[in-house]
Amino acid sequence: MQSQAESTNNGTLALDITALRGWIGRTETACDTITPRLLRQYAATMDMAETEAAPLAFHWCLAPPAAPASSLSPDGHPARGGFLPPILLPRRMWAGGALCLYDRLRLGDEVRRRSEIVDVTLKQGRSGLLCFVTVNHEISGPRGLAIAERQDLVYRDITAAPAAAPRPDDLPHATWRQRKTADPVLLFRYSALTFNGHRIHYDRSYAMEVENYPGLIVHGPLQAAWLLDYAAEIKGAPPVSFSFRAVSPLFDFKSFELCARDSDDGLDLWIATADGVHTMSAAAQW
């Protein structure tokens, strides 16, 4: 197979999209069991009451890839290739996704996740070349399908300039607001729960000196979990569908709020920092 990447005359990385799209249709299956310890540690990390019903975004802690330490890349992720295509753009981020919630997972459930790569695309953004990978997941428990999920991953160059964050006057008016904080201990504990070795979440010197961020990055799934739980709290019941999109990075030193307002079919939600930067948007329907 032809190499999927090469350098152009000006030094920019070019990707062979034909080779990368050869990963479309690949599948993998992973299994896990919801244990008392994992539920207890998740509740402690998220500062919520422990119950036998798993929290709504708990499935992101189940059956994470467990690559041997000797096979990890310098950023802490498993080496490129395998189930996900070997995209050589160095920054990998969770760009967004969508959930359909059919059943609540519970303590003791044996859970099976079937994953399939459904699309690989290239785009030229304002900040440079972007490669998007779309993965569909089916998370099933003893009572059948519990969650259907679409996961959107984006790969980009480290040297690309970040896109401008929305101005404060671009943000809508919120009916509900809840202040949150994300300190390094929380980020480390969430990384441990999800077995996420990406160093931008807990290694400040790596995040700042190698990936050129001003601080530690708050996980995209963690932000989405907060918004999903907040939506259920506002309406008094879990939504049947939830979608989210990362807008700009959220850093551990920023003060921020969960925000929500009514929409035609549910709630629009977002996260905004105290200085008006919009970091994630979401929508929930009942």
Determine the pLDDT at residue 80: 75
* Domains of the chain, start order: 5-285 (3.10.129.10)
Give the pLDDT confidence of 225-280 residue by residue, as tens digits: 999 999 999 999 999 999 999 999 999 999 999 999 999 999 999 999 998 899 99
Determine the pLDDT at residue 10: 36
Angle between helices 36-46 and 184-193 (to 10 degrees): 160
E-only strand ranges, 157-193: 176-180
Beta bridge mates, 140: 112, 145
Give the pLDDT confidence of 152-188 residue by residue, as tens digits: 999 988 765 455 555 555 667 899 999 999 999 999 9
Query: Residue 19 class from Cβ within 10 Å (0-12 exposed, 13-18 middle, 19+ buried)?
Result: middle
Q: Report residue 45's pLDDT band, with 50, 70 and 90 as the boundaries.
A: very high
- Average the pLDDT over 80-109 and give the result: 91
CA atoms within 13 A on the CB side of 250: 32
Tokens (6 digits) for 267: 């709630």
CA 262 to CA 267: how far, in whole Å? 5
Determine the pLDDT at residue 71: 86
Give the pLDDT confidence of 100-159 residue by residue, as tens digits: 999 999 999 999 999 999 999 998 876 678 999 999 999 999 999 999 999 999 998 876
Determine the pLDDT at residue 9: 36
| Residue 95 clears pLDDT 70, i.e. is over it | yes
CA 109 to CA 34: how far, in whole Å? 6
Q: Is 46 helix (H, G, I), strand (E, B) or coil?
A: helix
Give the pLDDT confidence of 176-223 residue by residue, as tens digits: 999 999 999 999 999 999 999 999 999 999 999 998 999 999 999 999
Answer for the pair 185, 193: CB distance below 8 angstroms, yes or no.
Answer: no
Determine the pLDDT at residue 14: 56
Give the pLDDT confidence of 49-68 residue by residue, as tens digits: 999 999 999 999 999 988 89
Determine the pLDDT at residue 266: 96
